[in-house]
Amino acid sequence: MSAMENIIKKAEVLIEALPYIQRLYGKTVVIKYGGNAMISDDLKNSVMEDITLLKYIGMNPVIVHGGGPDINKTLDRLDIKSKFINGLRVTDSATMEVAQMVLVGKTNKEIVSLLNQKGSKAIGLCGIDGKLIECEKYKSGTDESQGDLGFVGKITNINSKVLELIARDEYIPVVAPIGVGSAGESYNINADTVAGEIASALKAEKLMLLTDVEGVKMSGDSNDIIPALTVKEVHDLIDKKIICGGMIPKVLGCVDALEKGVGRTHIIDGRIPHCILLEIFTYKGIGTMIMKEKILYHSQEQI
């Protein structure tokens, strides 16, 4: 390819993005940032560049982050043993103190700093700030034998006003998944759940979950990704056990957000450089998009 052909190809990429930029201008995009995309320095920079670009072209990104690996490392250093019930971490008072310290004091501020280095104006928050995320103690079931999960929260309310004020101005809110109870106690909450509830409260146009899988697949083949699904198709695939295991709570979280007013939801592979841009601004995307109905943004979109 000649130098001129290469330049023209770059121009074609920008033109492909144009209808999406037009459609999403002024809209809110909630991004759950976690998994391996938080571990690799190259991927960290890639994600922050993507988010900064979204802001500069007129969208309102809101970031919700996890931080499990950082919490685990700190617990190990302090010799605090982790215990799980049905895949959920038991969060006693000592573990809660560490989780809050790591998520709010370390992980959140690292993300804010990285965004600011890219030219953004990011502001770090957690659910305690302005009672942003109100919650109650999560109960794993009525059977007491299932055990007490401790300070794990179930969201009862999102006070979205503070996020709206920040995101619609020149800033990017970065939210750590720590909630607050009625007596002021802190609770640890699953970051996917927080992202879905925030997207619903903001009536976001998009909810994007960055994961360590390529998307929803028809088989074990990594190339067999389903580019788009409706809510009905999701339930059908769960019934057929094509969607199974850890993917079920992710897709059902997406469905719940759609039912509460989110426009489109996406499950994408955060291990791919510039995964956010590739999913939002290309005709086909790279992951799985879940919608209420398959309605095109424009005629060339491939869903």
Give the per-residue pLDDT at 299: 81
Domains and CATH numbers, the chain: 23-291 (3.40.1160.10)
Residue 89 among known ligand-binding residues: yes
Quick one: pLDDT band at residue 147, thresholds 50, 70, 90?
low
**168 CA to centre of own chain:** 19
pLDDT exceeds cutoff 90 at 13:
no
Residue 67 among known ligand-binding residues: yes
Q: Which amino acid is present at 93?
A: S
- Mean pLDDT of all residues belonging to the chain: 90
Residue 130 among known ligand-binding residues: no
Terminal alpha carbon distance of the chain: 30
Question: What predicted TM-score, i.e. pTM, was given to this entire model?
Answer: 0.92
Residue 181 among known ligand-binding residues: no
Quick one: pLDDT band at residue 28, thresholds 50, 70, 90?
very high
The 3-state secondary structure of 63-116, one letter per residue: EEECCHHHHHHHHHHCCCCCCEECCEECECHHHHHHHHHHHHHHHHHHHHHHHH
Interior angle at CA 118, CA 209 and CA 47, nearest 5: 20
